[in-house]
Amino acid sequence: MTENISVLGLGLMGSALADALLSAGHHVTVWNRTPAKADPLIAKGAVRAATPAEAVEASPLVIACLLDYPSVHEVLQDTPLAGKTVANLTTGRPGEAREAASWAAERGADYVDGGIMAVPHMIAKPGALILYSGSSAAFERHEQAFAVMAEARYVGEDAGMAPLLDLAMLTGMYGQMAGFLEAAAMVTSAKYPLKEFTTDLLIPWLNAMAALQPDWAEKIETGDHSTEVSNLEINRAGMENLVRAFREQGVKPDLLLPMKTVIDQRTARGLAHEGLSGLVEELYN
């Protein structure tokens, strides 16, 4: 079904989203603070709005993809939103999303927040995912249009849930990257070919370790941190050995040290018999 959709924000990501919607045959109205960025989309059939208010007026569904939440508020603050659905795909914090949902509700708009798990060139291609939270009615109303940009997964009425899961996924990514960078420093310091190490050794090992994580997730959910794999004492000694080896090799273990600190903390509480999943208990405030 063809929809009228307005896109506010034509940076790298906003342009890719608007392009995908246009290619799928939707009637797309676009607005950007720097108007020239709309030109390629206008050439493909989009309609240019002179102001955010004109863009909002044009469509029941308004997609915002701006730098941050303050810029979303700045752009929409003087614009009537009653009866509209605002889908805010700008990256932000869960608290900002909840505030934006209340702000939109006060103005008579439905609100869905989105966490984009893709880079611009992945949009409209297999592998791109956007998490949505907030009004389920609004999500269902526009699900087909959302699915044109990326797999659209609804994760709950709490508008903060999509950004929370987005940040959790980024956290997993940064943790993995931190491990890779430390490993890369160690391997290159010994002049071993890094690409060969990465593809032949590291990636299969990481895949095997990732396969353990659903089991950890169950342990964390139940609070049973018993282990048949390796206890904290073994990991404490292993981490000690690792850090020492790094220093002997002339490499700083700085990205590993925070994890060592938490392992040492948990062990010092007399919980050396637990598995690594128990470390999560040290992270709650």
Instruction: Decide: 110 and 104 in contact? Cβ < 8 Å.
Output: yes
The residue type of 219 is K
Distance between CA atoms of 105 and 81, rounded to whole angstroms?
9
Beta carbon nearer to ligand FVH, 10 or 87? 10
Kindly report the number of other CB atoms within 10 A of residue 209's CB atom. 11
Distance between CA atoms of 233 and 213, rounded to whole angstroms?
20
**Of the candidates 116, 123, 128, 149, which one interacts with ligand FVH according to CB under 6 A?**
116
Beta carbon nearer to ligand FVH, 16 or 232? 16
Give me the least distance between CB of 160 and ligand FVH, in Å please.
16
Find where tokens 């009615």 sit: 137
Instruction: Decide: 130 and 163 in contact? Cβ < 8 Å.
Output: no
Give me the least distance between CB of 203 and ligand FVH, in Å please.
23
Instruction: Decide: 142 and 107 in contact? Cβ < 8 Å.
Output: no
124 binds ligand FVH (CB under 6 A): no
Give me the least distance between CB of 76 and ligand FVH, in Å please.
10
Find where tokens 């752009």 sit: 75
x/- letters, 228..257, toward ligand FVH (CB under 6 A) = ------------------------------
The dihedrals phi and psi of 89, each to the nearest 5 degrees, come to -100, 20
129 binds ligand FVH (CB under 6 A): no
Which residues between 32 and 51 bind ligand FVH (CB under 6 A)?
Answer: 32-34, 37
**What DSSP element (H or E) covers 127?**
none
Q: Buried b vs exposed e over 120-150: b needs ≥16 C-beta within 10 Å?
A: eeebbeeebebbbbbbeebbebbeebbebbb
x/- letters, 51..90, toward ligand FVH (CB under 6 A) = --------------xxxx--x--xx--------------x
- Please give the residue whose beta carbon sits closest to ligand FVH in the complex: 11
Point out which span in 12-20, 180-188, 194-202, 276-284 binds ligand FVH (CB under 6 A): 12-20
Point out which span in 21-29, 113-121, 140-148, 187-195 binds ligand FVH (CB under 6 A): 113-121
State the residues that interact with ligand FVH by CB under 6 A: 9-14, 32-34, 37, 65-68, 71, 74-75, 90-91, 116, 119-120
